Amino acid sequence: MYIQSLEGSWFDHPFWRSKFMLVEEDDLRQLQSSDIECVWIDEDQSLAPALAHLLPQEPAPRPRLLEELSAESSVKAAPAPEPVSEPAPKRAPPPDDFRVAETVLADCKAAVRDLFARIQDGQAAAIEEAAPVVSGIAESVSRNPDALITLTRVRTLDEYTYMHSVAVSALMINFARQLQLPADYVKQAGTAGLFMDVGKGFLAPELLSKPGEYTPEDWAEMRRHPQLGADAVKASGDLSKIVADVCLHHHERHDGSGYPYGLKGDEISLFARMAAICDTYDAMASARPHRAARSPSEAVAEMYKLKGLFDESLLTSFIKSIGIYPVGSLVRLESRMLGCVTAQRRDQLTKPVVRVFYSIPQRTQVPVEELDLSEVPEPDRIVAREDPSRWGLSDWDSFALTILQGQKARRRAA
């Protein structure tokens, strides 16, 4: 049967999402033993028992990782898990996925702004109030992670902190699923990503929006935000120790070069190491007051060059979760066409689905055509990731979004 809604707190049940197909008897027993008092069932979406075996199953958590993850009372580091099996290949996000993600994003922005303001004013903001926000992000990630993550890159400078928080939450949820973490830890990862930068609200707005390079004094002030955020989260009430830990340590680096304490390696918790990767990726792929955005694939390439700063095994798993050429990347093909990556082939990361729109020899736009590089009959491949500004695409994220949302792309026959 299809569970449409679980009444009560998101944190009172053992599932990382609130809408899903209930298939396994073990899941039913977990639901019956939870604190949920009421369940809404969508009969139209429920499948007959004979079809239940066709449904994708959530991967069982690996015993070694379960042993490594400590109880919430302790957030001491857990060694990075090994790479996991990949989800099935997928096509480009349908337009409906973007419409759903746009609604989720609009709701999340307003809610995050309110939650941050309350915490910064010293008011108690319990985890129960964050749960609907993280649940909405998780539902969108479950439907199609690329849709929400792509939309968060289209942001104005004055809403950077809030959009960055939503983006990191989505990336953390997607990353935790890639690592096959238990459902409760997926929720914790998403919540930690959401509140990670709450400490920036205590800094002067003119510092956050300052164009140009920071002075040493600016950096000294900026580096106060992890401690300010952790203190605020601890004082706010029910937010977990994992959330406070990520607030405090998401700028620590694997080689000890980070701040505020210069921790290195396994001195940094698993969730803080994950957050360091998600935070850096979104910051690189987003426009800031003092620099332009890199394309998603450029951000991935740059992070790989800097991999000594991050847990290498975790970085590899993160790249698998978003792709070598993430959705929204501008790439050049061997056929001398420019294209926008629209979907990943999780089993062939170097051969994503691309929508070509520009002929380099003709120096002109062409009718948008969708190519699955793992299936095209004649040899074609990505030969380079491209800087959008080189091609006069100063607002690449918005341009890419029009390509991703377009419904009239021809698909080249295999």
* pLDDT tens-digit series, residues 312-323: 999 999 999 999
Is 66 part of any domain? no
How far apart are alpha carbons 197 and 211 in whole angstroms?
20
**In the beta sheet, which residues pair with residue 343?**
353
Is 62 part of any domain? no
CB 13 within 8 A of CB 36: yes
Do 48 and 131 have their domain in common?
Answer: no
Do 181 and 233 have their domain in common?
Answer: yes
pLDDT at 330: 93
Do 277 and 379 have their domain in common?
Answer: no
Per 3-state DSSP, what percentage of the chain is helix, strand, and coil (rounded to 5)? Answer: 50, 10, 40
For position 301, which CATH number holds? 1.10.3210.10
Do 307 and 351 have their domain in common?
Answer: no
pLDDT at 50: 34
How far apart are alpha carbons 294 and 272 in whole angstroms?
24
End-of-domain residue from the set 303, 322, 341? 322
22 burial (CB, 10 Å; 0-12 / 13-18 / 19+) is middle
Do 307 and 344 have their domain in common?
Answer: no
What type of residue sits at position 336? R
Do the strands 2-6 and 20-21 form a parallel or antiparallel pair, or are they unpaired? antiparallel
pLDDT at 125: 58
Q: How many domains does the chain have?
A: 3
Would you say the C-alpha torsion 138, 141, 142, 147 has a positive or negative sign? Answer: positive
* 145-152 vs 95-120: helix crossing angle, rounded to 10: 60
Q: How many CB atoms lie within 10 A of CB 239?
A: 24
Is 284 part of any domain? yes
Low-confidence ranges of the chain (pLDDT < 70): 1-33, 35-95, 123-128, 157-158, 237-239, 377-378, 407-414
| Sequence-ordered strand ranges (E) for 100-223 | none
pLDDT at 62: 44
Only one residue has tokens 């419904």, namely 407
DSSP state, 373?
T
Do 195 and 276 have their domain in common?
Answer: yes
Do 316 and 339 have their domain in common?
Answer: no
pLDDT at 84: 37
Do 339 and 307 have their domain in common?
Answer: no
Instruction: Note the Cα 222 to chain centre separation in Å.
Output: 24
Residue in 337, 332, 311, 328 with CA at minimum distance from that of residue 402: 328
pLDDT at 48: 36
